[in-house]
């Protein structure tokens, strides 16, 4: 998830917040100041309510950070790299570079967050037991204890992407020894859980007129969407195992020479291409950036003849450059960079392909079909893709998928055209456009003389030059 606000590093882990964190902080603060605290401790000044409410909302966000930090620290101890922690509208997200290798690792990492929230809950309850202070502060601390306890319980509900769904996944993985089966079960459980919360929230809203039902419906919708997406991604990872980037990419895309004039590029490439985005290359053929049609259309026409491609292209981040032999699952960790482009595929020295959202969508659907097929196909071997398209894009003969040799047409034998159905004794019958039994000239003939067929090159004599020049008599 994108971090709009960088908060620094905790234990060496980058921590940030999505813009929606401000919204949830304001919502929590307003709820405390306008409802929870006045009902618990009436008769206090409005300013006091707001001061305590703001402080309590900040501490609550800190406890959310502690929940995610517990996941991160345990994951790092189990050998998984932690990329970042991001707070957002519905809690927090810890981004890992990799997955748990064993069911035990997944269980420990997943259970660490709810356990941390439970510890926070107990801590806040213990703080207020011997504390004889302002009733407003005690009420706020009690609320923090209650919310962290509810957070621990809710996160242990058995459905992806909640922590309880991952604990369920670890248990099923260990029981059946099949990670893919556990993936599907946890994702399905998450969708069922989400639909249940939506139904409960709707009943609260309709029957009891509780606006809290809207919040429950929002959480349920998020669980359904996230569980479905997670199921698709995990199925894609399984289906793409053994596949390479070359099996997913669009080969030999149109490219944009960085030194070319914008007007020239539009006339020679952009207006004739079906692409929305073009890899930009330097004189050596190395990919240096990307150029989108959107950027071209936004440029004033009077400036196009003065600018070169590099002036309006975007630099290409190194993590969006892949090798054709990279594992195809690497694509799943990328986001769109410019237009529908996800990655540029380069062999040393030149661009050989690119991966777009359409390529990924096709690959995901095919991966799901492979994982659910009764007889899943084997991953492609190197022989299935013997070489990448060459720079000159010269055509190659159609190849048989098993043997790699050119196949003859169905009606041919030994490379010699077989008689047509209307032929008798091997003698071609006159075509409809023929007159007096003499074939009419074909479109590709010159000077009214039929051009030699491909079979002429396979054993039939070529017509001599004077035969070509001799007029055809009717």
Sign (positive or negative) of CA dihedral 253, 258, 262, 263: negative
pTM of the model: 0.64
**Distance between CA 349 and CA 314 in Å, rounded?**
20
Cβ atoms within 10 Å, residue 5 = 13
pLDDT, residue 387, reads 41
Cβ burial of 130 (10 Å; 0-12, 13-18, 19+) is exposed
Range name among 10-14, 176-180, 397-401 with the lowest pLDDT average: 397-401
Joined tokens for residue 362: 């096709």
What count of Cα atoms within 13 Å lies in the side-chain half-sphere of residue 425? 0
Residue 421 has pLDDT above 70, yes or no: no
pLDDT digit string, tens, across residues 209-245: 777 788 889 999 999 998 888 887 777 777 787 889 9
pLDDT, residue 422, reads 41
Residue 461 has pLDDT above 60, yes or no: no
**Distance between CA 141 and CA 371 in Å, rounded?**
50
Please give the average per-residue pLDDT across 39-57, as a whole number. Answer: 93
pLDDT, residue 232, reads 77
245-384: what fold? Answer: CBS-domain (3.10.580)
Kindly name the residue from 39, 46, 68, 422 that is annotated as catalytic.
68
Place 56 in a pLDDT band, splitting at 50, 70 and 90: very high
Joined tokens for residue 19: 């813009």
**Distance between CA 191 and CA 227 in Å, rounded?**
6
Residue 441 has pLDDT above 70, yes or no: no
* CB distance 345 to 324 below 8 Å: yes
Kind and range of the H or E element at 236? helix 212-239
Range name among 43-57, 170-184, 207-221, 271-285 with the lowest pLDDT average: 207-221
Is 68 considered catalytic here?
yes
Annotated domain spans of the chain:
5-156, 245-384, 415-474
Residue 470 has pLDDT above 50, yes or no: no
Q: Is 49 left (phi over 0), alpha (psi -120 to 50) or beta?
A: alpha
Range name among 201-210, 219-228, 275-284, 366-375 with the lowest pLDDT average: 366-375
Place 425 in a pLDDT band, splitting at 50, 70 and 90: very low
Place 364 in a pLDDT band, splitting at 50, 70 and 90: confident
**Distance between CA 280 and CA 309 in Å, rounded?**
8
Sign (positive or negative) of CA dihedral 396, 401, 406, 412: negative
pLDDT digit string, tens, across residues 391-417: 333 333 333 333 333 333 343 334 434
Distance of CA 269 to the CA centre of its chain: 28
Using a pLDDT cut of 90, give the percent of the chain over it.
Answer: 52
Strand order in the sheet with 91-97: 5-10, 13-17, 81-88, 91-97
């Amino acid at each position: 998830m994108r971090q709009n606000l960088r908060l620094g590093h905790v234990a060496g882990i980058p921590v940030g917040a999505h813009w929606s964190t401000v919204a949830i902080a304001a919502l929590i603060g307003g709820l405390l100041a306008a409802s929870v605290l006045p009902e618990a401790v009436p008769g206090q000044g409005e300013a006091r309510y707001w001061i305590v409410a703001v402080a309590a909302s900040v501490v609550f966000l800190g406890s959310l950070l502690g929940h995610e930090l517990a996941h991160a620290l345990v994951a790092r101890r189990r050998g998984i790299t932690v990329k970042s922690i991001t707070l957002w509208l519905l809690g927090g997200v810890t981004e890992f570079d990799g997955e748990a290798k064993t069911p035990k690792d997944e269980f420990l990492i997943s259970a660490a967050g709810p356990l941390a929230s439970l510890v926070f809950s107990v801590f806040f309850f213990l703080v207020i037991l011997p504390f004889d202070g302002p009733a407003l502060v005690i009420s706020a601390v009690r609320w923090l204890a209650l919310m962290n306890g509810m957070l621990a319980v809710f996160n242990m509900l058995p459905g992806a992407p909640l922590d309880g769904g991952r604990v369920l996944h670890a248990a099923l993985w260990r029981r059946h020894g099949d990670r893919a089966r556990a993936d599907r079960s946890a994702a399905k459980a998450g969708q069922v859980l989400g639909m249940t919360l939506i139904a409960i929230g709707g009943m609260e809203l309709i029957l009891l007129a509780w606006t809290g039902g809207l919040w429950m419906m929002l959480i349920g919708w998020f669980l359904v969407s996230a569980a479905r997406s997670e199921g698709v991604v995990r199925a894609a990872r399984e289906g793409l195992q053994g596949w390479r980037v070359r099996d997913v990419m669009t080969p030999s895309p149109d490219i944009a020479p960085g030194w070319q004039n914008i007007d020239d590029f539009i006339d020679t490439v952009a207006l004739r291409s079906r692409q929305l985005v073009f890899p930009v290359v330097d004189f050596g053929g190395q990919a240096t950036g990307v150029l989108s049609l959107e950027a071209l259309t936004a440029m004033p026409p009077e400036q196009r003849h003065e600018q070169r491609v590099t002036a309006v292209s975007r630099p290409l981040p190194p993590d969006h450059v892949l090798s054709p032999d990279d594992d195809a699952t690497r694509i799943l960790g990328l986001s769109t960079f410019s237009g529908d482009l996800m990655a540029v595929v380069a062999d040393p020295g030149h661009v050989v392909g690119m991966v777009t959202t359409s390529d990924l969508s096709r690959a995901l659907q095919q991966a799901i079909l492979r994982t659910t097929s009764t007889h899943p196909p084997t991953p492609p071997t190197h022989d299935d893709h013997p070489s990448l398209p060459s720079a000159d894009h010269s055509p190659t003969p159609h190849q048989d998928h098993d043997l790699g040799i050119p196949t003859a047409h169905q009606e041919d034998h030994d490379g010699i055209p077989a008689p047509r159905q209307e032929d008798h004794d091997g003698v071609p019958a006159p075509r409809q456009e023929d007159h007096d039994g003499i074939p009419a000239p074909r479109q590709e003939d010159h000077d009214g003389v039929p051009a030699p067929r491909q079979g002429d090159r396979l054993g039939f004599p070529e017509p001599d030059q004077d035969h070509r020049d001799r007029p055809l008599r009717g």
